[in-house]
Structure 1
Amino acid sequence: MKSFEVNFDGLVGPTHNYGGLSFGNVASQSNSQQASNPREAALQGLEKMKALMDMGFVQGVLAPQERPDVAALRSLGFAGTDAQVIERAAKEAMPLLVASCSASSMWVANAATVSPSADTADGRVHFTAANLNCKYHRSIEHPTTSRVLGAMFADQQHFAHHAALPAVAQFGDEGAANHTRFCREYGEAGVEFFVFGRSAFDSRYPAPQKYPARQTLEASQAVARLHGLSEAGVVFAQQNPAVIDQGVFHNDVIAVGNGELLFHHQDAFLNTEQMLAELHGKLAARGGNFQSISVPRDQVAVEDAVRSYLFNSQLLSRADGSMLLIVPEECRANPRVWQYLQGLLAAGGPIREVKVFDLKQSMQNGGGPACLRLRVALNETELAAVNPGVIMTPSLYDTLTAWVNKHYRDALRESDLADPQLLLECRTALDELTQILKLGAVYPFQIN
């Protein structure tokens, strides 16, 4: 039976803004308070989805969240009508209003961790929504994320959904941004690679000193248990605390993997050689031939990797067995990174082509191509069981482009977030979107 890796890209929401909310994310903080363009951001994302569809990849779309999150503001003591809640928050606690308006759900690499049916004990595809408890503006996402994923992957014969882990620091979970799967073929048993920044209970693991380590070992282990993964199919590895302190807030900022290949920076991990040997041995036991490409620090410094998001790229398998690397425009703009990529292609390894995409609106807020997509490996039967409304087609692309142009503003500043009309615009747009994507009622304003 044929199997696929389907990329479900996050559709940028109508309140896309540069709130500078993510401590430890250099781009997010450095572009704080700039005017954003939600329309341009959403259209840039849709263009990437269409381009991958046109290249023959199965491409899906994941809906954004309702923002501002009035219910979250009410839970913090702001009362009255929706408009009054927004007005009070703007007057008394503007940072909380900004957080409640964040469009960070666009980066669906943080939405959940996904294990394919070939790896799980019950033979179903498993989803665990990420609690994202390190940052308040992201911690409020997982209830809606779970409902949206449940509407996309509803068939309980093929799909299993788990609630987010306890929302405490010991189980900080950032989803697929710290998870990669290696396999010979997508439909065969593989090795799931969980990367953590710290341990909550074991002091033997060093921790970063400047920026928080968002993913814990204990969270990764819990997700592996929930998904019914075997010890033979799992490798846990620690991210280098020194690179976290240089702005590598997720593993997908310093490494990307697909199939049998791991593309990573020399300084990405602790105990690198031991980790690579474990990956090679476990994948070999499952019929695979693990390979790695380590980018030397003397060719690409960690600072260049963070600024260009070289590793926050999409590594895609093509029909001829070669791999395609999708990178942001910032890679071409960085002379050292671009020189490295040209040398990589000239070397004739598994990565045979690099394609560049303009994702400036997302990049300025700290998310590149890899942040914008959630990978789900599916066989033909499982793909047929996915809600067809969320699979990209030329018609859906045209419909969503028209929807964005109809509903989205072309400029948004912090002061605009206090406008109650923005909430009405968002709800009107999302109500229409759920009909386009055939999701049913998934947003609080549709349910309550």
Structure 2
Amino acid sequence: MAGHPAGGGVRGVKRSTLELQGFRGLAALSTVVFHIWQQYYTYDAEGSHPPVENPWVGALVSLEVIDLFFVMSAYLLTLSYARAALDDGSTRPARVFLFRRAVRILPLYFLAVLVVWASRNPTLPGDWRDLVEHLTFTHVFDRERIFYTLGPSWSLSLEIAFYLTLVALGPLAIRACRKLPTRRARVALCASGCLLLYAAPVAWIIFAHYVLGIPHTNWPVYFGPQARFGGFATGMALAVLLVALGERGRIGGRSVALLSALSLTGLYALSYLSAPENFAHTYYHPLAALLWSVLLFATLHIRQRVSGHALLRARSVTTVGLISYSLYIWHEPIMLQLDKTGLLPSGPSGFPFAVLIVLAVAIPAATLSYWLIEYPGGLLARAMDGAGRSREFYSEPSPQPQPSPSRTPSPEPAR
């Protein structure tokens, strides 16, 4: 799923394919653990409290990886546009791009929505509005239903918005860049566009929070694309930066270690310091996107592989990365069903055992889902590209967590 980036590929990108897939695997596992933590925190019969009364552990578990997925997705899918804009490369027509994304993402998503919705609405018409909104990716704008049916799928709505934005703005950027006389001017134009796309959501957050006084529990205000597009803008900027640099300025082991340590420390501090309505909470996602992009830069723009990336290349981790979209789709319904049937232990002490139980069921289910549904979709996507160019279907949106209950507890999904 980290797969092969679009276009001919910068050599360092090809070297780091496994590392990107490893990031997806680790983040997918983190997402499952986070949602189990959230389930025990918010809906446990003994009251709302963390399963482990340790703020350091809580900050680690609640470290949201959503922006990592947004940054990676935008980076991978923007590469071909960046190469076309800066170096006169080629891109696929919008219809081909969108078809490839659709056959890769929609079959599994629609199947899961219909199955889960039907199981929770056995008597028709049921909550028909919830079904329509999920099938049209508009549930992210519904404060009541944003986390219904497939709770994490609000983030997939943002992915769809990004795809449409990319195919609309990408060709415009390419045409504008080809009118400029120098490569430096092209880089400046693309970088300025990315900065504008990053600044707009920050401005919206400032306006909504400080001017309108809207609380963070108004989910559509702070979870919609108008507030969350900064993660995608950061990934787009990373693609522009790496294409602009080419083989220049690759970093060695010490710089990789330093940048990685700084970004991970910053991410952990952001999670630890975040509390409802404070500065870290208000600007969590724009800041996290920047920190994740630094970590990815230290993974992609390197002279050679470093020993510290061994975990990212481990087969067990990259295998989870391969099935991470299916794991993203199915892990929450599986967790809720196991809880409903009494197969998850109750009380905070049951949390670690619940993690093992959910993973023991969700990973095989996701593996089966990948080979039966995702993989055939990938074959169909490749069939659309007889020239054998980049395989973008590997860079699909991956599992992403709901808001941390310590910051913004979500309403209980319809069961």
Normalising by the residue count of structure 1, what TM-score does the alignment of the two structures yield?
0.28
Higher share in helix: 2
1 or 2 for the larger relative contact order (CA 8 Å, sep ≥6)? 2
Normalising by the residue count of structure 2, what TM-score does the alignment of the two structures yield?
0.30
Higher share in strand: 1
